[in-house]
Structure 1
Amino acid sequence: MDDSTVVMVGTLRPELVARLEREYAARELGQLAAEEAARARVAVTSGVWGVRAEHLDRLPALEAIVNFGVGYDATDVAEAARRGVVVSNTPDVLTDCVADAAVGLVIDVMRGLSAADRFVRRGEWASGRTPALARRVSGSRVGIVGLGRIGLAIARRLEGFGTTISYHNRRARTDVSYAHVRDVETLARDSDVLVLAAAGGDGSRHLVDAAVLDALGPRGFLVNVARGSVVDEDALVAALEAGRIAGAGLDVFAAEPHVPSALLGRDDVVLLPHLGSATVETRQAMADLTLANVAAYLDEGRLLTPVG
């Protein structure tokens, strides 16, 4: 096989890089001479980096983009399609771990667990102070934005807490009994915690804006395991600073790995470094599926998990 058949775009996990180098002699796009890049057929990237028009310009023979991650909004899918390039992602294999993380954020931000940990470590408990009372998770009203694979897995888990679940999708699902709400603002108004599991991209950019946050209200919490772009971060910071929402649990941000400095010192916010799928088991499964997509395309001309 030509050693420029598979190219890597952006930073990938070391284990995946090692396997791509070993099995396909793959190299990073920036390491390739123009004539080598011009021969590449498959690009492997991540949900953080993606393949955009400027990369496609350097890869005129590209046929497929294989994405490590379920989110692929960093890739210019429309431009890829225009050029006849197919795209895959790694769905299903990370659903459980992302859903687990979302539920963890719900519990943490509502019960104030991380804040209580810091309270103890600062010596405030030992000095006789009492932490503020938190909010109960069991029996709460949960609104889920995006009831796809991950959103449904979150809902199933939170059912065990006796919560009342409603959701917003573009189209109502016929296979669930949860109430479908036509707009996010109404969903927020009727929820104690609003959980975001929607796909990223232009269609969901700033779906949660100042109006939605005001609807969520001073007793409502926001949890985001979707994409940072789904939330207007400036509006979120303003709402928290003014006490217009009760708190937020965030695994994703608009300009990762940069987090708004105004959030860093707040005890009503839980901040995670985009670790929804970050378990040994899930990252192994994602790498396996990524490599299986590469192999299937090169051997059979098809992707196992195409998007769109």
Structure 2
Amino acid sequence: MTDYSVLVPLVPRRPEQILPFAGLVRWTGAHRLWQGQGLITESHQNFAYAAGAGFRVPTGLGVTLTPMRHPYEAALQARSIALMTGESVVAGFGPGARQMQQSLLGAPYPSPLTASREYLTAVRAALTGSPEAVEGEYWHQAGRLPAVPGARVDVGLGVLRPGMAKVAGELADVAITWLTPARYLKEHIVPALSSAAAAAGRARPRVTAMVPLALARDGRDPARLALASNGAHLRLPHYRDMLRRGGVPLPDGDYDEADPQPQALALLKGGAFLYGTADELRGQMEAYAAAGVEEVVLNVTGVASLHGPQEAAQEVKSLLIALGAA
């Protein structure tokens, strides 16, 4: 059975903006409240605010960027949220785009796969108290958090292509994807996760897919919604490569700033951005379940960007009702 979760579809400028979405998780059958990396306000602090306001719900960070904090600090932040909420946390990490790595570290990671493998190993060591020090090419970690009882913290990894999926299969509890069509997950990501996990003698990580979508309504332009949700990702070469591998018919070459419409239409045609009636979206969700996805995170950032956070919250509620998760 696939769980349905809620992505906060904006980076809150005021902490109370997170509360309607936390309330949807608190008062419906939604599984977890997720945030991505915030560059206006920090995601961990937003979750802490919601907990202080009485909304203590399971949370997920999908994903925070490894150049921004040491693995020990990352483990401490994740466990702090688990203790503040009394609920489980998925602490998802990813190396980010090369430009981000360059701006924070002075140079991009020569091997994002190695950097991610070391980072996840170091975070888990800090959380579990493993006595071995991590002495890697990118990270040194010998610190251990004091053992205290509390809710579970799972370690996640952002996965876009099969190479990173193999790292997740070896080490992660959860593989977190963004903008990945169901067929791409079925044909490329889940097999890579499964084979790497089997080689490591462990169970396959759970798959959490963050799926951008919107309900068809009068006055809405699905192409504009797709661009509002994913225009920034379409500019990144690794996302364009993934989408093409997943059967999304993007135009040849780089993102065309002067004529973005064909890019948006490709997302819709290729099943990377979902748009339709409640019945149509329910049918499309079945493809994610068939691909091996255990959790779908409802991503209505396009609606929030074009129509505002209040309409976005109502959109999520309508989707949860349509999907039987309200």
Q: Which has the higher contact order (CA 8 A, sep 6+)?
A: 2
Normalising by structure 2, we get a TM-score of 0.30
Normalising by structure 1, we get a TM-score of 0.31
Greater radius of gyration (CA)? 1
